[in-house]
Chain A
């Protein structure tokens, strides 16, 4: 599970993010080891999505460094960056499926670009990825607007898995899902994680999901990250963390996870 001896999958050191005068991250450190599910939590506006965008290299930080699989984003060459992007699968909060393309075309998009292959091979890969995320084959020909919220999340995950990434970055994968779909999504993630040996970084507000899936949790408070195992974070004396993990909703989720 946690292998501190190996090279970290994600290492963020001393990250500073500012929007004008507003400081979001002030010396944030974060380390994700290979083959763990790492949950990121924090209040609204704590900079969870900003952190994700920074890890992906979509946003230039005001300070600090980001290393993905041992490669520093600041010094990476163009080729290294492209290779890194291929090793990362991402889902955004609202799915971010390309609305003018069908689900199948969305999944094919990066494959066509980087691994030219005959149409039968593409069909086969679309079928594989839809099967992995548990979407019916007839979803392939549908446009994103014809899908329900849960299907959009699954389709986005199918697209993220398409390039066979080592690292999955998920922004609120279960938000907006009904409890049954959300629980199914948790199981799907655990399945993919155990079967495909994926490292997962997951931003979530869903405490059930957190308790069910995550090995370690990073809490963004006061612009920094407090990282611990689930058991450890529950003992943390910080008032915000106490409130977050010991509120009425958290207790219910904990009981469910342990019961």
Chain B
């Protein structure tokens, strides 16, 4: 079916239009319009008598296309009961300049060198942003000794509850299950040497030094790091942080510092719970699988422990807490303009805080080895 047919009519042209001219037929009409030969000179008479359901879009496409093809002495006439839209849109089109194609910005430097340069600049800006953020936090912390109200106790308490207390079930469950798995794997290997009892050493040291704190930190990064970024990000989008600044309040003091401090309190406490549940899991598996009575497990546990084992795990918790809290709040404060930014930066907050936690853990391992902790 043809929506339009162009015929020669002496010096002039006759454009016979027919069929469905609603928005649904827009695709086909556009294709046929593209095929019109140009430029067209003289008068074009558009015959609308065969058209039904004329929509604004197709009529507009016709008018702009014909105007675009206009040669010398070009004129448009409409016959055969043209839809009312024709007159309206023709007037509108005459008032509006044709749409200018937006210039596509071309980067000055192409290829790998250009990418490297842009990446360097972005990283430089990022580094300055992080430095500024740290500086602002330090400024708030510096004010606390002189002005205790800068420490927002109610806010800290709320965040300790949200990041700590509500995380207890999931942290406890995961620590328990992972230590059962570790103990089971250990038991399978060690029983080959008849060294079953060393499962206790394995579980104790693995859980207390590494697994307890690392698992807790990763769970908290996933739960609370993302929550921090999203909460603060939405506040940024709603201009709430600007409102705080306009009221003479410091968003870093109100939003960032309480969250970071709350994590510094909550994460070590969660780690203690994870340690306890991990040891319980090890004890349970030892009892069921290796028939080591719980009393014997606890005696062996005390022999396996050196005075520093427990602390070597726990001392890392506040450091991880600071990393998670800062990354989450920093990414939240970076949100500008759109919902997509919010999603991107929340994802980034989680990925980077988990990465930083594991990196810090590796550095701690090297450090502890060096100082024999």
Contact = CB atoms under 8 A, between A and B. Distances in A.
Contacts of B26: 115, 117, 121, 125
B337 A145 contact: yes
A24 B244 CA distance: 34
A127 interface: yes
A164 B85 CA distance: 12
A59 B369 CA distance: 63
B35 interface: no
Interface string B241-268: 0000000000000000000000000000
Contact of B27 (A116, A131, A132, A143): A116
A145 B338 contact: yes
Contacts of A100: 338-341
A99 B60 contact: no
| Size band of the interface chain B makes with A | 20 to 34
Nearest to B237: A99
A22 interface: no
A100 B60 CA distance: 28
Interface of A: 98-100, 111, 115-118, 120-121, 123-125, 127-128, 131-132, 137-138, 140-141, 143-145, 163-164, 195-197
Q: Could you tell me the dominant secondary structure of chain B's interface residues?
A: helix
B57 A120 contact: no
Contacts of B340: 99-100
Nearest to A195: B88
A118 B27 contact: yes
Contact of B100 (A131, A137, A143, A164): A137
B96 A115 contact: no
Nearest to B55: A164
A165 to B, nearest CB: 11
A172 to B, nearest CB: 18
A137 B98 CA distance: 9
Nearest to B65: A124
B299 interface: no
A139 to B, nearest CB: 11
Contacts of A144: 338
Nearest to B31: A118
B3 to A, nearest CB: 13
Contacts of A124: 30, 57, 60-61, 64
B348 to A, nearest CB: 16
A164 B56 contact: yes
A54 to B, nearest CB: 26
Contact of A115 (B27, B56, B60, B89): B27
